[in-house]
């Protein structure tokens, strides 16, 4: 029987994915990656889910990196397989047509930080530590860390973090724009729930188009990104939610978005 290392629970419009290897600080291995991909794809396809939250079990780690046991005796071919497996997960997080919130409740190192960087919004406990320590193992990040960290925090920060391999505090990560907010550990779950509820109350189609536009803005040239934004903006006018938003504003009431 396969151990359940990742769970996906739905409460109302919010889906929560939890990596459950607390004794191993929720480290990524092949089984975790496989189950995590399945969970992301299932919640992405579930129309009742408007927001996905990703976290790790316990209060010590979000994901403390890859399971080093899988590195011993590994060949370049094995490393390619490992990197491809993680890329499938990060690709799925980015492609999810709904906001994905990383709730960083502890260590987010190596592959753990790479997972968080693929999420739309990251919030963290004040006790969290974020880093890419692969250089200390004689390797470098292989799950998108060098690319996404550079795009989010800039080349200087990415070089410092990857070349020294030293983690940074949650407060430092906030100052660098790596996380959107920092909370006392005992307040993190409440803050995450409040954020998820606020996102879930918005128009799903507009959020999906917004996420798509933001993703394009990261990689495309300015004109291409502007054209994509215009198309996404126009598509929202095909929905009942757009009309509801406008009418609610004029009536000075809160809109009720149905996803239509």
Q: Residues 156-198: pLDDT tens digits?
A: 999 999 999 999 999 999 999 999 999 999 999 999 999 999 9
Q: What is the pLDDT of residue 126?
A: 98
Do residues 47 and 94 touch, judged by C-beta distance below 8 A? no
134 assigned to active site: yes
Which ranges of 56-135 would DSSP assign to H, the alpha helix? 76-95, 111-117
Of 9, 57, 114, 244, which one is the catalytic site residue?
A: 114
| Regions of the chain where pLDDT drops below 50 | none
Mean pLDDT of the chain: 96
The token pair at 66 is 């890859």
Q: What is the pLDDT of residue 2?
A: 67
User: What is the CATH class of 204-251?
Assistant: mainly alpha
What pLDDT, in 10s, does the model give residues 111-135? 999 999 999 999 999 999 999 999 9
Helix (H) or strand (E) holding 18, with range, is strand 14-19
- The rounded percent of the chain whose pLDDT value lies above 90 is 94
- Cα Dmax for the chain: 66
User: Would you list the domain boundaries of the chain?
Assistant: 6-200, 204-251
Which strands, in side-by-side order, build the sheet including 14-19? Answer: 6-11, 14-19, 51-56, 100-104, 121-125, 181-183
Fold of 6-200: 2-enoyl-CoA Hydratase; Chain A, domain 1 (3.90.226)
Distance CA 18, CA 96 (A): 17
Of 57, 70, 134, 171, which one is the catalytic site residue?
A: 134
Q: Matching CATH topology for 6-200 and 204-251?
A: no
């Amino acid at each position: 029987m396969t151990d359940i290392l990742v769970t996906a629970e739905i409460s109302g419009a919010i889906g929560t994915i939890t990596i459950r290897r607390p004794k191993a600080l929720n480290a990524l291995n092949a089984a975790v990656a496989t189950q995590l991909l399945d969970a992301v794809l299932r919640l992405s396809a579930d129309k009742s889910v408007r927001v996905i939250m990703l976290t790790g079990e316990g209060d010590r780690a979000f994901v403390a990196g890859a399971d080093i046991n899988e590195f011993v005796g590994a060949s370049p071919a094995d490393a390619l397989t490992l990197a491809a497996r993680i890329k499938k997960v990060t690709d799925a997080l980015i492609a999810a047509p709904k906001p994905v919130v990383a709730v960083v409740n502890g260590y987010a190192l190596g592959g753990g930080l790479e997972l968080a960087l693929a999420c739309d919004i990251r919030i963290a406990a004040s006790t969290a530590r974020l880093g890419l320590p692969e250089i200390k193992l004689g390797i470098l990040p292989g799950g998108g860390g060098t690319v996404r960290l550079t795009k989010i925090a800039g080349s200087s920060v990415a070089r410092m973090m990857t070349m020294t391999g030293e983690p940074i505090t949650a407060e430092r990560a906030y100052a660098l724009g790596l996380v959107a907010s920092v909370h006392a550990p005992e307040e993190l779950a409440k803050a995450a729930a409040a954020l998820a509820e606020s996102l879930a109350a918005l128009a799903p189609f507009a959020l999906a188009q917004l996420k798509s536009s933001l993703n394009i803005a990261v990689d495309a040239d300015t004109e291409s990104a502007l054209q994509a934004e215009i198309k996404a903006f126009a598509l929202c006018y095909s929905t009942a939610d757009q009309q509801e938003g406008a009418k609610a504003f004029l009536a000075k009431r809160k809109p009720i978005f149905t996803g239509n």
